Amino acid sequence: MERSHSLFKQLKHATSIDISTRQHQVIYWLSTTAILTTCAALIARAVQLGQDNSSSPATQYGTLTLLISWVSAMVLNHLEHRQDVRSSTYIYAFYVLTLAASAIHIRTMHDLALTAQSQFASFCVFFGALIVGFVVEAWPRNAIVRNQDILDQDLPTAYDQSNLVSRLCFHFMQSVISKGYKQPLVDDDVANMMPRRIRTVHSYDLVSQEWDRHVAKCRTKGNKKPSLLWVVLKAGRWSWLPILVFSLLASIMEYVQPLLLDVILSFISSYSTDSPSPPVYGIILSIGMFVSALLASLASGQFYQIGTNLGLEFKAGLVSMIYRKSLKLSPNARRETTVGEISNHMSVDAERISQAVTHIPGIVSAPFEICVGMWMLYRQLGPSAFTGLGVVLMIIPIQTLIGKTLNTAKDKKLEAMDNRVRLMNEILSSIKIVKLYSWERSFREKLDVVRKKELNHLRHIGIAVAFMMIMYTSLPTLITLLSFTVYALAGGPGGARGTMSAQVVFVSVTLFGRLAKPIGRLSQIVSQSISFNVAVKRIQSFLLQEELEDAQIEYFDGPSQQRSSLSESGYSDGLIQVKRSASDVTLLQAGSKAVSISVQDATFSWDQTTAESKKEMLNLKEQKSDRVTTPTSDQGARPALVDINLEIPSGSLSILMGRVGQGKSSLLGAIIGDMYKHKGRVRVYGQLAYVPQQAWIINASLRENILFGNALDQERYDRITAAVGLIPDFKMLPAGDLTEIGERGINLSGGQRQRVSLARAAYQDADIYLLDDPLSAVDAHVDQHLWENLIGPEGLLNDKTRLLVTHGIHHLSEADQIIVIKSGQIDETGKYEDLMNDQGSFFKLVSEYSVKERQAEKGEQQDESGDQSTVNIAKDDIKTVDAPSPATGTEMVKEDDNAQLIMEEEAAAGSVGWKVFMNYCKAGTYIYSFLGIILFVFSQASQIGINLWLQRWAGREGTDRQDSIGAFLGVYAALVVLYIGLDVSVNLIIFIQAGYRASTLMHNNLLQRVLRLPMSFFDTTPVGRIMNRFSSDVDNMDELLPFFASDFYFFLSTVLGTLIVISFSVPIFLAVIPFLVVLYLIIQTYYIRSARALKRIYSISKSPLYQHFGETLAGVSTIRALRVSDQFIRNSAAKSDQSSNAYFAYTISNRWMHIRLEFLGSIVVLATALLAVLGRETLGPAMAGLALSYSLNATYGITLLVTSFSELQNQLVSVERIREYSEKNTEAPDVNEGVDDQLPPNWPRQGSIVFKNYSTRYRQGMDLVIKDISFTVAAGEKVGIVGRTGAGKSSLTLALFRIIEAANSHWAIASHNGADSDAEPNGGEIGKAPKDLEKVAVEEDGGSIEIDGVDISTVGLETLRKHLAIIPQDPTLFAGTVRENLDPFDQVGDVELWEALERAHLKEYISTMPGGLSYEVAQNGDNFSVGQRSLICLARALLRKTKILVLDEATAAVDVETDELIQKTIRQEFKDRTILTIAHRIKTVMDSDKILVLEKGWVQEYDSPSELLKKGNSLFYSLAQKAGEV
């Protein structure tokens, strides 16, 4: 199937190339023909002009010059055609200029009556050929990629293929906008839009190479600290130049319009004199205003286009650098930098750098605009204009102070956000544990504390932004007042009173309005520059984090054939023997044999140690201790591994043993390069494969998890999956091996996850396999199967080098070498027989706990045939190692709708509903929301009042009706003060009151709801998708939404005021308004439908990137060990490019809208100017000035109104997404007051459990995992639960805790959030039972579970879970202190905590840690071994003192000695409690009162161990026999 798909793809590409080639050939020859025709016409004209004696030399020289230019164009056309991407910009621009000049030339010849001459006919032929050539050159063309290697990865994009005009007016987005208007857009509709240079492969090189050179240069200069800010600015290189040029050009064009306004008012004023100007002069001036507005729009569009491109380049490059850095972090750096913090660097910091690029050139353009504006004002007002300059200079220190405040507030807010995101990520990653322990309230309180700090800083940001907004809106009005006051009082010649003519007033008002933009932008430029600097510094600090040194591990291609360097003598088989004495360790080896791993005199730690500690470390041999509680992973100065000398022969099976926390996993970590090497040498000969103790599963199909990027070899794949025993699992899964596996393998059992991990390693076909206790997660018979068919001497990997960590002792005799590690040092090494003969610590361990050893005297003869039940199990579960036939392999692929677990995130279609906006207003309170609108209306009314008052004054200047200066200035000042007061009030209300309250309430609702969602939601929803709501969406709601809401209200009132004033001044303009409104509504509707969809696509596109990043960090050790970093970097780059492409499409669609709205705005300017010119005799200069000054602002105001409206809608997408999760169906209430209040005070008192015809499934629509089971557990009874992997053992415990509900029960249906759910959201107050559900009736077919006679489905979840205790299958610790991990509610004292740790055999270890109970636990508990984490979970259970305890494979990750100690503790401490124990080690449950045997969700057997062992055909007997217990 895949091969045929590949062939089809190649055929499709070949066909596409053929079509594109033909198209390009046609375009090439047509364009060449057109150019040849132009040249021929010019030659003919030159000859004709030469024959005509009356023709001027200038015409002849001009024709020859044009001919030379077009001959050159033909050569350029041939060269440019080789690009095969798009039309030549140079030729296209030449066509445009020549056409414009030729049209003027034809009109000139017509006016001069030269049309009868033959040269005119030749020039017309030339002009016609130009038109044809222009059309051909503008014709869109598809790319030809002649290099097949880059066919799929470097195709030219829509932007690359667009011509000059298409780029100027953003027409290349037209197809997307049109499609978005007709139907909802999807990812494929916007694929391949952005320029190729933005792609990660190019952007990474752009930034990374510059950074590497800069860092190397700083290192050569000693202690000079590298500056990422300088690197980013330098990486832009020449791209900054066009950005700056277009920015300045747009600024110049903006000021051309007030100049033309001055001339137009002079033109109108001339009609009150004896020498009026000709009407055509006024029309030309009107057209000039239109053209200048259009050019300003085009220049501004290109400025934003190029700036957006450069910003995306920086973002893509930095995201890739952050991702690559995360793969190389040292242990210290990994502890100091959490997943949440790194995610924030990618989602927030890189994003802000991208967005700030378009504001940075304002550092040059804004002062330039202010200087130009002040010069033009000086021409109008004379020295009085410097009053405004003085105000601007006085404001700069205030802006600087506000900027510093904003900088500090942003820094602190981001720091608080990092902490919140980190904690939230940790909660969501371990949500099952949080629910099992009923810790939702504790974590919510922790998050509330962090969120309050974040909101406090948000309030400070709001205040600073509100005052910066005032700089933009109110400052120009204040400057105008002060300048006019000085001018009116002393602005005339010799300090006399200035003349407030219409020309002076309205040109000045227009100029002050233009000044408002750069002055207002100053605050935004400062804000964005601060954000840029803060973001760059945060990323810089991360990029400068410590890295692991690749050189500390020496890799070689094949096995070493050298003689061992560790000793001079030894055994003839080449294996290493260690004999310990009080003084030293002697290593012996005889002969020479290929070595796969060699470690010589090596010392490792998880921390960088001080010089003193290194010295102490070297003397540890003389200070050895028999203490068994030595640290293993993070203990300050003490190394985890000391003086390690080890050789692993090629092709051997070596077993690494030791107690919990002695350094077994650390040794594997040292070999793969995950630890600090302080001395010694590590050499690895061949390719490594690594299986971690906690299986790492990615969110992909089961097959993709095994192949891990490799090509499918069906025969090898079938052999490996059979060897790991996955064939029966394939048959049980909905779509076989194509079933999608959720994040962290959520829909697989622990054993299945571990076997998938083993299959992945086996499929790598490596030379060396490091297996970190994979057998602890599987049942006894699966353990045996894996040993016989994969790991053991006869297994699939029998010719590979295997280093296996295990706590089991039943395979030791078959190992080639056994290594015993104790206190971070190798204690014993040798063959099984030799170590037993030495009778050291290994002998004591085995002889005490091995049933096989005790039965050795009876011989090893065993009945091969076994009993019938054993044979049946072998047939059903274990399968033969032989590869299945091709038919068997294809049977794994089943078509099933349930193959997909993680549903694609859907983008809501249509507009962001009014309901969403009203929800946001409600969260901010309706009073504040509508008060803001009303104040904006009054603010605009006062602004209109100011301008009408100025118009009144200018109209009466020099007449008898003129008011006194005092009256004029008094009213003027009052209106300005009123405007400023209203402006201050409205911004403070929006940012400080409404915005702050809305952010607080909506985040709280989201948090409470998410923590109360059922486990089925988390099974099908990636953590990255949820985190996107808590990071990007919450950040947008916090900071951007109030800003755009304020903008929308401001520009809405401004535009309405503009239309009112123009209509009042030029009533005929009312006739134009309906057409303008219709056109604006069409463009807005046309655009907004696509913009909303593009925003949603962009929001969704970020989730896979963050999800992939989180998965990468979780499996970074496996990725590094397998050396597949490049593969993951490529995957990350693809997801980053998809996100960048979506953002590019979104932002460029905005420019598409801008250019069209600004064109319509230019028409408004043209229409107003023409109406003023045509009505010059009836319309006075004052009224014309008022109308024209408002019309010049109309373009800006209307465009920003639509922009702010669309941005508001786009930001409301974040509210919509937050609201989506805030309205999901929750699980059952925490407290059911009607039932919980009636429970006995110490419920459950006895601890009896009754399952009555109980059935359950993981979520609606899936098959049952527990099927109609009934059994009773008496009070105080100890029940062991056994069964093969996937039999339903863990599902039983989840049912007891109501993580999953009884099938078809009320809450199973009401809490379902899938597409097939007919249930309405359960509503009500979170955590409380809705009134109509206070008594929940369990449907008959789902059965029930009763504890002490109480149906648990009627009990509140918090009440139920707090009265149960569990030691879970995956021991989980949270970042914080040991105390917080044991007692998050702070309910017990330190004495009880130490007692619990002592009984869990951890007191001595924790007491050696810095701070004891206050010792900081790293994220995910990485500074504790898995076994130690299990012991902490045991201590938690001891503290709960509940009557029911569930042990879900709690001792799977500990050695047999520690297991025995734990079992002893359990027997002593929980002797009066009911215990349900799920165990892979049959020995663990042999002393249980009863054994419950599950098989495929059914109860197969339930009786005491002795009774079941009497039945030779029982399933339990066969399991015990294989475990060596019979």
pLDDT in tens, 1161-1196: 788 788 888 887 877 666 667 677 777 777 777 667
pLDDT above 60 for 689: yes
Name 770's bridge partners.
690, 803
Query: Can you give the pLDDT at residue 284?
Result: 86
The answer for residues whose C-beta is within 8 angstroms of residue 128's C-beta and 6 or more apart is none
**Biggest CA pair distance of the chain:** 133
Cβ proximity of 1250 and 1345 under 8 Å = yes
Query: Can you give the pLDDT at residue 620?
Result: 41
Q: What confidence category does residue 495 fall into, taking pLDDT thresholds of 50, 70 and 90? A: low
Between residues 1452 and 778, the one the model is more confident about: 778
**Mean pLDDT across 688-704:** 85
Instruction: Give SS3 for 430.
Output: coil
**CA 671/CA 1389 separation, integer angstroms:** 42
pLDDT above 80 for 1061: no
Query: Can you give the pLDDT at residue 392?
Result: 75
Global pTM reads 0.70
Q: What b/e readout covers 812-835, taking b as 16+ CB neighbours within 10 angstroms?
A: bbebbbbbbbbbbbbbbbbbbebb
Query: Can you give the pLDDT at residue 1151?
Result: 86
Mean pLDDT lowest among 104-113, 546-555, 560-569, 1475-1484? 560-569
Q: Which of 265-269, 405-409, 1390-1394, 1418-1422 has the highest mean pLDDT?
A: 1390-1394
Classify residue 121 by burial, with Cβ atoms within 10 Å: 0-12, 13-18, 19+: middle
**CA 796/CA 240 separation, integer angstroms:** 60
Within 10 Å of residue 197's Cβ, how many Cβ atoms? 18
Query: Can you give the pLDDT at residue 1451?
Result: 64
Cβ proximity of 657 and 819 under 8 Å = yes
Residue indicated by tokens 């006679």: 1349
**CA 1138/CA 1155 separation, integer angstroms:** 26
Cβ proximity of 645 and 585 under 8 Å = yes
Cβ proximity of 1146 and 1098 under 8 Å = yes
**CA 247/CA 365 separation, integer angstroms:** 6
Rounded to 5, what percent of the chain is helix, strand, coil?
A: 65, 10, 25
Q: What confidence category does residue 3 fall into, taking pLDDT thresholds of 50, 70 and 90? A: very low
**CA 622/CA 606 separation, integer angstroms:** 22
Instruction: Give SS3 for 1446.
Output: strand
Please report, to the nearest 10 degrees, the dihedral formed by the alpha carbons of residues 121, 125, 128, 130 taken in order.
-120
Q: What confidence category does residue 1392 fall into, taking pLDDT thresholds of 50, 70 and 90? A: confident
pLDDT above 50 for 567: no
**CA 1422/CA 335 separation, integer angstroms:** 8
- Cis amide linkage into residue 1244, ω under 30° from 0: yes
Q: What confidence category does residue 1290 fall into, taking pLDDT thresholds of 50, 70 and 90? A: confident
Please report, to the nearest 10 degrees, the dihedral formed by the alpha carbons of residues 198, 201, 206, 212 taken in order.
150
**Mean pLDDT across 65-75:** 80
Mean pLDDT of the chain: 76
Q: What confidence category does residue 882 fall into, taking pLDDT thresholds of 50, 70 and 90? A: very low
The DSSP letter of residue 1340 is G
The DSSP letter of residue 690 is E
Q: What are 1472-1487's pLDDT values in tens digits?
A: 888 888 876 677 788 8
Please report, to the nearest 10 degrees, the dihedral formed by the alpha carbons of residues 43, 47, 48, 54 taken in order.
130
**Residue type at 897?**
D
Give which of 509, 528, 515 is closest to 471, Cα–Cα.
515
φ and ψ of 602, to 5 deg: -100, 140
**CA 468/CA 470 separation, integer angstroms:** 5
Within 10 Å of residue 572's Cβ, how many Cβ atoms? 9
Mean pLDDT lowest among 54-68, 602-616, 1363-1377? 602-616
Q: Which of 102-116, 221-235, 598-612, 682-696 has the highest mean pLDDT?
A: 682-696
Q: Are strands 700-701 and 740-741 parallel, antiparallel or unpaired?
A: antiparallel
The answer for residues whose C-beta is within 8 angstroms of residue 1520's C-beta and 6 or more apart is 780, 1482, 1486, 1509, 1526
pLDDT above 80 for 584: no
Q: What confidence category does residue 125 fall into, taking pLDDT thresholds of 50, 70 and 90? A: confident
**Mean pLDDT across 673-694:** 86
pLDDT above 60 for 1314: yes
Q: What confidence category does residue 1526 fall into, taking pLDDT thresholds of 50, 70 and 90? A: low
pLDDT above 70 for 101: yes
Query: Can you give the pLDDT at residue 1285?
Result: 66
Query: Can you give the pLDDT at residue 1316?
Result: 39
**CA 1469/CA 1438 separation, integer angstroms:** 8
**Mean pLDDT across 193-218:** 86
pLDDT above 70 for 1315: no
pLDDT above 70: percentage of residues in the chain: 82
Cβ proximity of 976 and 481 under 8 Å = yes
For the beta sheet containing 1490-1495, the strands, ordered from the edge strand earlier in sequence to the opposite edge, are: 1365-1367, 1444-1448, 1474-1478, 1278-1282, 1490-1495, 1498-1503
Residue indicated by tokens 């099933």: 896
**Residue type at 1473?**
R
Query: Can you give the pLDDT at residue 587?
Result: 34
**CA 658/CA 630 separation, integer angstroms:** 12
**CA 304/CA 1316 separation, integer angstroms:** 45
Q: What confidence category does residue 493 fall into, taking pLDDT thresholds of 50, 70 and 90? A: low
Query: Can you give the pLDDT at residue 1334?
Result: 38
pLDDT above 80 for 1465: no
Triad 841, 845, 846: Cα angle to 5°? 120
Classify residue 456 by burial, with Cβ atoms within 10 Å: 0-12, 13-18, 19+: middle
**Mean pLDDT across 495-512:** 74
Query: Can you give the pLDDT at residue 1195?
Result: 65
The DSSP letter of residue 1030 is I
Within 10 Å of residue 1087's Cβ, how many Cβ atoms? 24
Q: What are 238-295's pLDDT values in tens digits?
A: 888 888 899 889 888 888 888 888 788 788 777 777 777 788 888 888 888 888 888 8
